[in-house]
Amino acid sequence: MGESYLKILKNIIFIIYWIEDEVKYVILTGSHTIVNWEIAMGKRRKSLFLIYLEFIPFYLLYLFVRRLSLKQSYWISRVLFLLLMRADKRHRVRTIQHLLHAGAADSLSEAHKLAKEVFCQFSKLLIEIFKMDQHYKPEKIHMAGSAESMRYLFEERGNAIIVTAHYGNWEIAGTAFCQKTGLGMVSIMRPFSNPLIGKCILKNRRSPAHEVISKQAGLRPLLKALHDGRHISILIDQHASSKEGVETTFWGHPCRTHKTPALLHLKTGIPVIPAVTRRLNNNFEFEFVFAAPIVYSRTQDKEADIQTITQLCTTALEGLISRDLTQWMWAPRRWLDINRGPYSNGRGKAKEECMTGAPLSQLEKRQALHQSRNGRRA
Contact by Cβ (8 Å): 168, 286: yes
Contact by Cβ (8 Å): 263, 219: yes
d(CA 211, CA 265): 20
**Taking the CB of residue 263, how many other CB atoms lie within 10 A of it?**
19
Side chain identity at 296, as an amino acid letter? Y
What three-state secondary structure class fits 48?
A: helix
- Comparing CA positions, the residue from 323, 354, 283 lying closest to residue 131 is 283
Which helix (H) or strand (E) is 272 found in, with range?
A: strand 272-279
User: Can you list the alpha helix ranges (DSSP code H) found in the chain?
Assistant: 2-29, 37-41, 48-66, 70-87, 89-102, 108-135, 147-150, 173-181, 195-205, 220-227, 260-268, 302-321, 342-345, 348-356, 360-377
Helix axes 70-87, 48-66, angle to 10 degrees: 150
In sequence order, what are the beta bridge partners of 231? 185
**Taking the CB of residue 98, how many other CB atoms lie within 10 A of it?**
26
- Comparing CA positions, the residue from 226, 217, 160 lying closest to residue 188 is 217
d(CA 163, CA 313): 7
The pLDDT score that the predictor gives to residue 208 is 83
d(CA 207, CA 222): 17
Residue 20 Cα distances to 8, 37, 188, 253, 294, angstroms: 19, 16, 29, 46, 48
d(CA 350, CA 367): 8
In sequence order, what are the residues at sequence separation of 6 or more whose Cβ sits closer than 8 angstroms to the Cβ of residue 46? Answer: 193, 194
For 227, half-sphere exposure in the C-beta direction (CA atoms, 13 angstrom radius) is 7
**Residues of the chain below pLDDT 70:** 1-46, 339-378
Instruction: Calculate the CA 8 to chain-centre distance.
Output: 32
First to last CA, the chain: 68
Per-residue pLDDT reduced to its tens digit, 316-351 = 999 999 999 999 999 999 999 885 444 344 433 444
What three-state secondary structure class fits 355?
A: helix
Per-residue pLDDT reduced to its tens digit, 242-262 = 999 999 999 999 999 999 999
Rg from Cα positions in the chain: 22
d(CA 163, CA 238): 12
The pLDDT score that the predictor gives to residue 207 is 79
Residue 78 Cα distances to 85, 171, 186, 357, 373, angstroms: 11, 20, 33, 24, 42
* Predicted structure pTM score: 0.80
The pLDDT score that the predictor gives to residue 49 is 82
Per-residue pLDDT reduced to its tens digit, 9-59 = 556 555 555 555 554 444 433 333 333 444 444 445 667 788 888 889 888
